Structure 1
Amino acid sequence: MLAVLVFIGATQQSSSDDAEIGEPAPVFTLPGTDGESYDLESLQGEFVVLEWLNFGCPYVERHYRTGNMPALQKEFTEKGVKWLSIVSSAPGTQGYYESDEMNEQNEMMGGMQSAILLDPEGDVGKMYGAITTPHMYIIDKGGVLIYKGGIDDQPRASYEKTKLANNYVRAALEEAMNGDEVSVATSRPYGCSVKYKK
């Protein structure tokens, strides 16, 4: 029952003030759990994936424990994509960890992203309109947002069927990296609500 309630509560539509497809992606600078500072503007010239992350969320856990998310991260970071996982959980809420503990959680989950960024005030998450974990965004080499939404089309998939889903992120990256227009640029995000500061 809890999972169903979480799912229903976290599939709301984003507001009109959110990052829009075909527009420049909002720039930001956030600290990483590796002690480095990450400036989105400095990544122009590269494809960038933003993944909203909460390891306490069962939807996120499913994508990591099945190897689905780590495999996708590995596949595309090896092709030069910068994959930034952003944690907008506020202190004291589900999914919030200090850097060292976050790195330990990520290692246990097999994460293969470029970096994990911390957004405890939730400013970047709200700027993008991130409402679920996971909530996925893709930015092209020109700094333009070309995809936002869910990772795939199977919010209630079992662990066994997760890899059989239509993965929107993989499809969008493949199309964009081949110079083609992204055929599905938006989809309905699903997962747990982002645990923003109240």
Structure 2
Amino acid sequence: MKTFKILGALILLISMASFVGNTFAEKGYAIGDTAADFSLKNIDGKMVSLSDYSDAKGFLVIFTCNTCPYAVAYEDRIIELDAKYKSKGVPVIAINPNNPSAKPGDSFEKMKARAKEKGFTFPYLLDEGQKVYPQYGATRTPHVYLLEKTADGNVVKYIGAIDDNYQDASKVDETYVEDAVDAMLAGKEIKVTSTKAIGCTIKV
């Protein structure tokens, strides 16, 4: 009888753990969801929202930071994405999701310095209070969300990594983000809509 009680308790615990795990996994946006707008402070001190871009066809919302080696490795490629697609109506909107208290290198002042050093051509926003990244479900830096601007709002079309080789841009085989944006702009089906974001965990 005692054995059955123990087994029953174990089954209950496993079920609860599974429920919690599934609930966590379901947080954030999925493909096809409509992303809410936000208002975050840019490195120039001005507030930026997606609604500011009246002529945009979509957005590359990229959660990134100063301190993660993966994010740093992708900085030049993020600049290139903005250069390639901003003129086509799909600008990069970079957001630093890290808590500066936990990661001083990701402070607002350090963000301004890094953007100037690298010559960022896009907004670099601080997720002050860490309110936006949980809405998206971002877990890594970098973590990309391609949004398509529609009459019903900004629809999530792709989530994940920029490409398949963070170490060497010259050895990339799969350009996930470029393929997704090109397909979206052409009105075609995006073949790969989700990949695993490779990077550092967001610091809380």
Q: Match of 1:7?
A: none
| 1:116 positional shift | 1.1
* 1:171 to 2:182 alignment: no
| 1:167 positional shift | 1.7
Q: Please list, as runs of the form range in 1=range in 2, the aligned pairs for 1:80-91 lying within 5 A after superposition.
A: 80-91=89-100
Q: Could you tell me how far apart the structure 1 residues matched to 2:74 and 2:100 are?
A: 24
| 1:42 positional shift | 4.7
CA offset digits 1:80-113 (Å, max 9, x no partner):
2221100111122334222x43222012223232
Counterpart amino acid of residue 160 in structure 2: G
CA offset digits 1:34-93 (Å, max 9, x no partner):
2222223454662111111111110111122xx322112211113222211001111223
- Asked whether the equivalents of residues 59 and 134 of structure 1 are also in contact (C-alpha less than 8 Å), the reply is yes
Q: Match of 2:87?
A: 78
Distance 1:21 1:44, change over 3 A: farther
- Report the TM-score when normalising by structure 2: 0.78
- Asked whether the equivalents of residues 136 and 150 of structure 1 are also in contact (C-alpha less than 8 Å), the reply is yes
Q: Secondary structure at the match of 1:78?
A: helix
Q: Secondary structure at the match of 1:141?
A: strand
- Asked whether the equivalents of residues 23 and 145 of structure 1 are also in contact (C-alpha less than 8 Å), the reply is yes
Name the structure, 1 or 2, with higher relative contact order (CA <8 Å, separation 6+).
1
- Asked whether the equivalents of residues 33 and 103 of structure 1 are also in contact (C-alpha less than 8 Å), the reply is yes
Q: Match of 1:61?
A: 72
- Asked whether the equivalents of residues 138 and 147 of structure 1 are also in contact (C-alpha less than 8 Å), the reply is yes
- Report the TM-score when normalising by structure 1: 0.81
Q: Could you tell me how far apart the structure 1 residues matched to 2:163 and 2:92 are?
A: 17
- Asked whether the equivalents of residues 44 and 141 of structure 1 are also in contact (C-alpha less than 8 Å), the reply is no
CA RMSD of aligned residues (A): 2.0
- Asked whether the equivalents of residues 45 and 141 of structure 1 are also in contact (C-alpha less than 8 Å), the reply is no
Q: Match of 2:119?
A: 110
1:27 is aligned, of 37, 61, 72, to 37
Gap runs ≥5 in structure 1: 1-12
Q: Match of 2:161?
A: 150
Distance 1:103 1:182, change over 3 A: same
Q: Match of 1:162?
A: 169
Q: Match of 2:28?
A: 18
* 1:133 to 2:150 alignment: no
Q: Secondary structure at the match of 1:28?
A: coil
Q: Could you tell me how far apart the structure 2 residues matched to 1:44 and 1:15 are?
A: 33
Q: Could you tell me how far apart the structure 1 residues matched to 2:114 and 2:55 are?
A: 31
Gap runs ≥5 in structure 2: 1-21
Distance 1:15 1:171, change over 3 A: same
Identity score, percent = 27
* 1:40 to 2:50 alignment: yes
Q: How many residues are treated as equivalent by the alignment?
A: 176
